[in-house]
Amino acid sequence: MGEGDWRLSEMANGMERSRILSIAASVRAMIAQGKEVAPFTVGDFSPDQFEVPDELLSGIIEAISEKETNYPPAAGLPELRESLAAWMNHAYGLDVGSDGIIVGSGARPVLYASFRLFLEPGDGLAHGVPAWNNHYYVHLNDSVDIPIPGTPESRFLPTATAIEERIQDIRVLILNSPLNPTGTCFTRDELKAICDVIINENEKRKLDNIKPVILVYDQVYSTMTAEHIEHIHPVQVCPEIFDYTITLDAISKSLTGTGLRLGWMALPPALAPPVVALIGHMGAWPARPIQKAAAELYSKPEVLEEYFLELDEKISSRMSILQERLGQLSQYGVSYVQPEGGIYLTTRFDLFSILDVKTNEEIRQWLLESAGVAIVPFQAFGLEEDSGWFRISVGAVSVGDITSAMDRLQTALESTSGHEPHA
């Protein structure tokens, strides 16, 4: 479109398609053509590999059979909000009551609503780098982009020190733990330090009658943590942060129901009415049957916790194979960051010398064409430097798929002619 199209808004002219979805679409086309490719790309779950709870499916079918097909309330069914409020209190010590739960068709509508609740044009929206599509949401809200870069030393998580350097410019800060794309999690101390920065800044702003910093805490992978890793919610380490925190969650990841579209926002109840109005105008509510089924399931924490345990075991089995096989390729410049949560493995393919290339995109193409390994470069998550970092997602692959892909990768690296592996 060049410089833009005068028929479109400035926002629309500036919007680009998600790089992740673009890569995933090309991979699906290759698979459809019969090519052997392991789809380590999108953060989706294959129903063949990761099944949603039986209780959820039977609940949906039952609700449909009972003709639960009319509009639900804009904020969500009362019984669902009650169940979710009880679960959030049980699991994370976050007590917002049912009035503080707003339901949406996945986490994206409530994420957008949480930004629209606070951001005026020109306000600062801060997010980690690398991170999921938050830089696109900056554009959608006509806000100022404030990237907070992570480093390999910080496990790519934004640090309290880096946030403090930009805190005066920030109106909304979004954090994600476990982090997409890196599969790393904040420790108690790390999260406490960030909360302290926010609280200290807000105390100053209160004296000057300036709007406070709001923390949006995206924890859609909270139930997926590696062994000995604890998911931490901000209020667990800093109760004072409650008044400034919005929490986002969804069944898309926790129950592997990515296409069922049910998410929610937990926030101080006094802030709920304008969100309900916004969601109502958007029409962004889940269908009644999924709400009815989820309400019943989230009233049974023991059933949920058993399911989460089994899910973590499935993820762990795939991560273990990846770590073992990638660890055998270190002489070629392959390494990874220890996974802590979610379905992602942060992997470095430092193949610039061995392949005689200069960009992550060239490495990605080589991995795809030579080994049938489809992964996503960190450029898709806002880290534009060509440093060899990629995201591997295990949600759509079997243990056998991983083994076959690693076999192909090893063969491709071993057969790369004219180059010596790293010493």
Q: What is the mean pLDDT of residues 177-200?
A: 97
Q: What is the mean pLDDT of residues 259-288?
A: 92
pLDDT in tens, 372-409: 999 999 998 988 899 999 999 999 999 999 999 999 99
Which string of b and e fits 140-151 if b means at least 16 CB within 10 Å? bbebbebbbebe
Per-residue pLDDT band for 64 (boundaries 50, 70, 90) equals: very high
Q: What is the mean pLDDT of residues 12-37?
A: 75
Tell me the percentage of the chain whose pLDDT exceeds 70.
95
Length of the chain: 423
Which CATH number, 3.10.520.10, 3.40.640.10, 3.40.50.720, 1.20.140.10, labels domain 55-300? Answer: 3.40.640.10
Q: What is the pTM of this model?
A: 0.92
pLDDT in tens, 133-146: 766 778 788 899 99
> Among candidates 180, 199, 184, which has minimal Cα distance to 242?
199
Q: What is the DSSP letter of 213?
A: P
Predicted pLDDT at 17: 63
152 — phi, psi (to 5°)?
-55, -35
Tell me the CATH class for 10-50+306-414.
alpha beta
Per CATH, 10-50+306-414 and 55-300 having the same topology is answered: no
Q: What is the DSSP letter of 225?
A: B
Please give the structure tokens belonging to residue 243. 């008044």
Q: Show me where the domains of the chain are located.
A: 10-50+306-414, 55-300
